[in-house]
Amino acid sequence: MRAAVLLRTGGTAAAAVLLLLLAERTLNEYHLRLLNVVGINVILATSLNLTNGFTGIFSLGHAGFMAVGAYAGTLLTFPVARKAMLLPDLPRWLAQVEWPFLPALLAGGALAALAAVAVGWPVLRLRGHYLAVATLGFMVIVQVLATNLDRYTRGALGINGIPPYTTLWWVAACVAATLVVLGHLLDSGVGRALRAVRDDDLVAQALGIPVARYRLGALTLGAGFAGVAGVLWAHLITVISPGAFSFLLTFQIVVMVVVGGMGSLSGSVVAAVLLTLVPEGLRRLEQGAVVAGLTIPPLFGLSQIVLACALVLVMIYRPAGLLGQAEVGWRHLRHLRDLRQRRLPAREAEERG
Amino acid sequence: MDLALYLAQQLVNAVSLGSVYALSAIGLSLVYGVLRLINFAHGDLLALGAYAALALLAVPRLPLGAALLLPVALVGAVGLAVERVAYRPIRRAPEVNALIVSLALSVIVQNLLVMTLTAQPRPFHLPPQLAGLLLLGGVVVSRMALLTTALAVGLMTALHLMVRRTRVGTAIRATAEDRDAAELMGIPTDRVIGLTFALGAALGGFAGVMLGGQYGRIDPFMGFLPGLKAFVAAVLGGLGSVPGAILGGYLLGFGEILFVGLLPPALSGYRDAFVFTLLILILLLRPQGVLAGR
Amino acid sequence: MRTVVLVLALLALLVGPTWGAAQPIPIGALYGITGGMSSIDAPGANGMRLAAKEINARGGVLGRPIRLVVEDGKTDQTATTTAMSRLINVHRVVAVGGLNDTTFVLAAGPIAQKARVPFVTAGATAPQIPEQVGDYMFMAPFGDDAQAYVGADYAYRTLNARRAWILTDQAYDFTKTLTRFFKERWTKNGGTVALEDQYRGGDTDFSAQITRLRAQRPAPDLLFVSAVPNEAGLIIKQIRQAGIRTPIVSGDGFDTPLIVSVPGPELADNVHFTTHAYVQPDSPKPEVQAFIKAYRAAYNRNPENAFAALGYDTLYLIVDAIRRAGSTDRAKIRDALAATRGFKGVTGTITYEGGRRVPKKSVTVIKVTRGKLAFAAEITP
């Protein structure tokens, strides 16, 4: 079996690399930029799904973790010369560092994870909406700190001229890492334990699962990936400011998770892709047009209304999200094929060894 | 400057602000009680109320009371319609779906307002009887704030009494406690839920009128922040509890004003952080909210 | 399965053929037409569209019509940057105009710079923008340093004030920068600062700050308020309601009808602010009158604020540069922009002097007396 798995993984990876090379050759800057944003949103959505969907923690603070990562990563990669200009009051050790991208990515994720531990420790005692409000509070506090700690963040002015390190390859690598880590985690015993915690934490506790520790772990891991996404985002947009990490951003990610299906990793991927690309595609609606001699004036905001209506329809007609709790992957495709060919019992016996 | 006078002034402002939050929070809390839904479009109901009042105040010869209270009915009707069209179909779905729907509704309302009325903030002209200030022992109180606070207190009391003393109120409480049991007992839960939603929306609409009057300008996004704070206030007081929402609203209003008033200027930028830290602390000490249960 | 088809269909929509014939010259207009910036960006877009219509009615430029492509940045940094990228890579515009906020300009600017597409911001006033973005970045309005210096000079020399109280909104770079430059000039002139206080955009109650102001001894004779339109009217109202009649001075954040409508004519008194131009029907300038008339004809209302006029001027500036360049080559347009001398617009005359891409432009001071606006001074710092 191992050979087959290795072959499959290798094949998928090779195909992905080829696709990326093709994309880089043929697509223009705009499309490449979109792909990068899609990738970042995939990381954000899947990591939030780990926390909210699989572990049942109603966290509204994801933008806050993203902000921690973004600012941390930026302060580390920002060229020393520019630091002297824009951030003259940084402490000496920070003012003199200029890190390459990879360590900054890791540091951003690590700091966000640390923030999650600090916040989660007290706050995870709460449940449901109370937890939601508390995590919302955390996000507000991060925003306020970013706006007021001028020495480190330039406050409301934000930091601009961030080196544009984010490329398709970096995003793809981070997306792959996120999906591999989360995929394996959720497939494993730990993953099942998390679902148990979500479904009924009393029973889970009775079964011997260290509920508090697992919840904190889920929050921390989710936050870590959000931090990485934040570093990627900062080095793509090249400007960060406190206003960018707002409640609106958190909600955009929550929508992706819910629309994709709160128990489905692949659902989050699909939703992230759709909800990033569809608004862009809808831009044309806003230009206004001349139809049969009638001039339709440009109607800005129409694309958002259309998207919102589509969202409502999805919620009404597919309440569990587009993929519900199902997953899409090689194993599942094979399962579907087997179902169709009624080869199921034999296959299951084979897998059980 | 007299410390006592200063505090008195701050108190007056806090009561005003608190009333706005309390009104909005009641609406949210009530709806949560029967629907288990946190309506993130609540803030936009405030904006609708303000715009409705603005339009009505411009109608010549319309008595003042009507201009201020008709928006309440109008927004209540909107709430009824929204519940029927958007929330009823997803009543059996997971809670967070309704959250998404409410967010989508918020986007739709805001964008429609921007498209039809533009995002330009509009002045909220008060008729001469309401414009102007009173000086009560050195403390400045605007007539509009006084009137609307009095009306707000009246509305809240009326609502509280209704929920506690009337049959309709009992029906609401029953539906909130156990919808299926209530239905089995013959309570028309669909209609009760619709009514609750309408009531919550109506109160939110009046909160919008208050906001517009006190601050003199309205715009399509004016309800976003108060809506969020209403949510915080409702949670603070204990979701589903009307007195809790009122208490939460005033607590939040007082907290905000006092933090700005008592903090040294250099720290006043941290005001929101202080308020939320306090909120988190309260929640940690009383996780069900200050007045859990009804 | 349905999902897959849907996704593919949408991708096709996206990557599909781009429109745009060879003949019209595509120029990009990028604004936050929806979202929080709408009240200042939507008028800017309207101004640009009006200018485009007028230009095409007169035959366009270089014998070709222009096609103004308006993209909405949605007041979101990600959406704004993708919109800029779309303008450049999909619509292939020869130049871009728009955006009134420094943060968004700094996010979108580098994309235009990297693609060597000239970008003229219609309303962002942070003077370091062109240097930070690059040589393809131009500013149509004056810098905050210019308007703050004029404000400080006017307060010191015309209003004869010596002791200032400063209130700054901490939520925007614009307001913080304005205060910084004001203080610099104020103290250089010899003025003193009694107290510096602050608030955050979105606040609606300023009684704490006003109380601290009242406690100042000796009382300040100037109130410098660094605010954006949303709070401008409120702050004036509450200060005047507290019985304080000291002159209030501000920057172009006060350029909004709200400074009269919110406090009411009684309280909107003794307020002075610097701005791009006096865009009122009673302006003595014929170009302002013509603009107001044209705007009203096109949109059924008076221009909401100066940003409408700035958008209008920005497109005319770009088209003027195209004409002088004699070509739609982007590098030539950039050079023509850099060589702009004495371009007459509704908001003033633009000259890019000495290689600077922040224009030398006059600052208008407007005075509000009992609810009536009046032109007070036009000063070139």
CATH of the domain at C41: 3.40.50.2300
Among candidate residues C199, C200, C185, the one with its CA nearest the CA of residue C363: C185
Lookup: tokens for A28: 């223009």
CB–CB contact C10 A278 (8 Å): yes
Q: How far apart are CA C2 and CA C16, in angstroms?
A: 21
Question: pLDDT (tens digit, 9 = 90+) per residue, C29-49?
Answer: 999 998 888 888 999 999 999
Both C325 and C245 in one domain: the answer is no
What is the set of domains in chain B, with CATH numbers?
A: 3-285 (1.10.3470)
- For residue C195, what pLDDT is reported? 92
Would you call B254 an interface residue with chain A, using a CB distance cutoff of 8 Å? no
A126-130, C137-141, C171-175 — most confident range: C137-141
User: How many Cβ pairs closer than 8 A exist between chain B and C?
Assistant: 87
The set of chains that have 3 or more CB pairs under 8 A with C is A, B
Measured CA angle at A255 (ends B190, B282), to 5 deg: 75
pLDDT band at C81 (very low <50, low <70, confident <90, very high): very high
A282-286, A328-332, A347-351, C277-281 — most confident range: C277-281
Both C223 and C369 in one domain: the answer is yes
Both C173 and C249 in one domain: the answer is yes
- As for how many domains chain C has, the answer is 2
Both C103 and C181 in one domain: the answer is no
Question: pLDDT (tens digit, 9 = 90+) per residue, A272-296?
Answer: 999 999 888 888 777 766 665 566 6
Lookup: tokens for A43: 């990381």
Are the C-beta atoms of B254 and B14 separated by less than 8 Å? yes
Whole-Å CA distances, A13 to A178, A308, C89, C297: 14, 35, 29, 60
Residue B133 Cα, gap to closest chain A Cα (Å)? 34
Closest chain A residue by Cα to residue B106: A308
Residue C352 phi/psi, 5° resolution?
Answer: -95, 110
Give the pLDDT mean for B131-154.
77
Among candidate residues B229, B107, B243, the one with its CA nearest the CA of residue B163: B243
Both C295 and C178 in one domain: the answer is no
**Mind giving me the DSSP string for chain B?**
--HHHHHHHHHHHHHHHHHHHHHHHHHHHHHHHHH----TTHHHHHHHHHHHHHHHHTSTT--HHHHHHHHHHHHHHHHHHHIIIIIGGGTTS-HHHHHHHHHHHHHHHHHHHHHHH-S--EE-PPPTTTSSEEEETTEEEEHHHHHHHHHHHHHHHHHHHHHHHSHHHHHHHHHHH-HHHHHHTT--HHHHHHHHHHHHHHHHHHHHHHHHHHHSEE-TTTTHHHHHHHHHHHHHH-TT-HHHHHHHHHHHHHHHHHHHHHS-GGGGGGHHHHHHHHHHHHHHHSTT-TT---
Q: How far apart are CA C33 and CA C73, in angstroms?
A: 7
Both C221 and C308 in one domain: the answer is no
Among candidate residues A73, A46, A78, A81, the one with its CA nearest the CA of residue A62: A46
pLDDT band at C239 (very low <50, low <70, confident <90, very high): very high
Residues of A in Cβ contact (< 8 Å) with B239: 129
Both C37 and C90 in one domain: the answer is yes
- For residue B287, what pLDDT is reported? 64
Lookup: tokens for C211: 């109380």
Residue C104 lies in a domain: yes
Residues of A in Cβ contact (< 8 Å) with C103: 157-158, 160, 239, 241, 243
Name the 3-class secondary structure at C58.
Answer: coil
**A143, A247, A311: residue with CB nearest B100:** A311
Would you call C69 an interface residue with chain A, using a CB distance cutoff of 8 Å? yes
Are the C-beta atoms of C47 and C305 separated by less than 8 Å? no
What is the set of domains in chain A, with CATH numbers?
A: 2-258 (1.10.3470)
* Range from A89-103, B247-261, C234-248 carrying the lowest mean pLDDT: B247-261
Kindly tell me the sign of the dihedral angle through the C-alpha atoms of B258, B261, B264, B267. positive
Q: Please indicate whether residue A323 or residue A145 has the higher confidence score (pLDDT).
A: A145
Give the pLDDT mean for B259-266.
72
Question: pLDDT (tens digit, 9 = 90+) per residue, C298-345?
Answer: 999 889 888 999 999 999 999 999 999 999 999 999 999 999 999 999
Question: pLDDT (tens digit, 9 = 90+) per residue, C301-314?
Answer: 889 888 999 999 99
Lookup: tokens for C250: 């501000």
Tell me: pLDDT of A228 over 90.
yes
- For residue A106, what pLDDT is reported? 95
- Residue A87's beta-bridge partner residues? none
Question: pLDDT (tens digit, 9 = 90+) per residue, C113-167?
Answer: 999 999 999 999 989 899 989 999 999 999 999 999 999 999 999 999 999 999 9
Among candidate residues C105, C160, C121, C142, the one with its CA nearest the CA of residue C274: C142
**Mind giving me the DSSP string for C271-330?**
EEEEES---STT-S-HHHHHHHHHHHHHHSS---SHHHHHHHHHHHHHHHHHHHHTS--H
Would you call B269 an interface residue with chain C, using a CB distance cutoff of 8 Å? yes
Amino acid at A212: A
The pLDDT mean for chain A works out to: 86
Lookup: tokens for B6: 């200063």
Residue C38 Cα, gap to closest chain B Cα (Å)? 6
Would you call B282 an interface residue with chain A, using a CB distance cutoff of 8 Å? no
Tell me: pLDDT of A301 over 70.
yes
**Helix C38-57 and helix C306-325: axis angle, to 10°?**
40
Question: Cβ contacts of residue A220 below 8 Å, gap of 6+?
Answer: A113, A116, A117, A120
Amino acid at C322: I
Are the C-beta atoms of B233 and B24 separated by less than 8 Å? yes
* Range from A167-181, B237-251, C81-95, C283-297 carrying the lowest mean pLDDT: B237-251
Q: How far apart are CA C205 and CA A335, in angstroms?
A: 62
pLDDT band at A134 (very low <50, low <70, confident <90, very high): confident
Residue B266 Cα, gap to closest chain C Cα (Å)? 7
Residue B136 Cα, gap to closest chain C Cα (Å)? 13
CB–CB contact C170 A148 (8 Å): yes
Tell me: pLDDT of C18 over 50.
no
Residue A32 Cα, gap to closest chain C Cα (Å)? 10
Question: Cβ contacts of residue C323 below 8 Å, gap of 6+?
Answer: C61, C62
Q: How far apart are CA C274 and CA C153, in angstroms?
A: 11
Residue C66 lies in a domain: yes
Q: What is the dihedral of CA A318, A321, A326, A328, to 10 degrees?
A: 110
Q: How far apart are the first and last CA of chain C?
A: 66
Both C126 and C162 in one domain: the answer is no
Whole-Å CA distances, A248 to A140, A251, C78: 12, 5, 12
Give the pLDDT mean for C351-377.
91
Q: How far apart are CA A347 and CA A336, in angstroms?
A: 12
Among candidate residues B289, B230, B264, B239, the one with its CA nearest the CA of residue B46: B230
Mutate to test the interface with B, among C216, C261, C267 (most CBs of B within 10 A): C261
Lookup: tokens for C119: 């970008």
**What is the extent of the structural domain holding C131?**
23-142+286-350
Residue C149 lies in a domain: yes
Lookup: tokens for B33: 């009680």
Residue C5 lies in a domain: no
Question: pLDDT (tens digit, 9 = 90+) per residue, B65-93?
Answer: 787 788 888 999 998 998 888 888 887 77
The pLDDT mean for chain B works out to: 82
Residues of A in Cβ contact (< 8 Å) with C86: 30, 280, 283
Cis peptide leading into C218, omega within 30 of 0? yes
Name the 3-class secondary structure at A262.
Answer: coil
Tell me: pLDDT of A32 over 70.
yes
Lookup: tokens for A62: 């994801």
Burial (CB count <10 Å: 0-12, 13-18, 19+), residue A320? middle
- For residue A151, what pLDDT is reported? 84
Both C249 and C371 in one domain: the answer is yes
CB–CB contact C3 A160 (8 Å): no
Residue C3 lies in a domain: no
- For residue C295, what pLDDT is reported? 95
Both C161 and C195 in one domain: the answer is yes
Both C228 and C375 in one domain: the answer is yes
Both C126 and C49 in one domain: the answer is yes
- For residue C20, what pLDDT is reported? 40
Residue C357 lies in a domain: no
Whole-Å CA distances, A19 to A12, A204, A329, C40: 10, 43, 18, 43
Residue C355 lies in a domain: no
Residue C255 lies in a domain: yes
Give the pLDDT mean for A75-85.
89
**A255, A299, A316: residue with CB nearest B90:** A316
User: How many Cβ pairs closer than 8 A exist between chain A and C?
Assistant: 106
Q: How far apart are CA C361 and CA C313, in angstroms?
A: 13
Residue listed under structure tokens 């890190």: A99
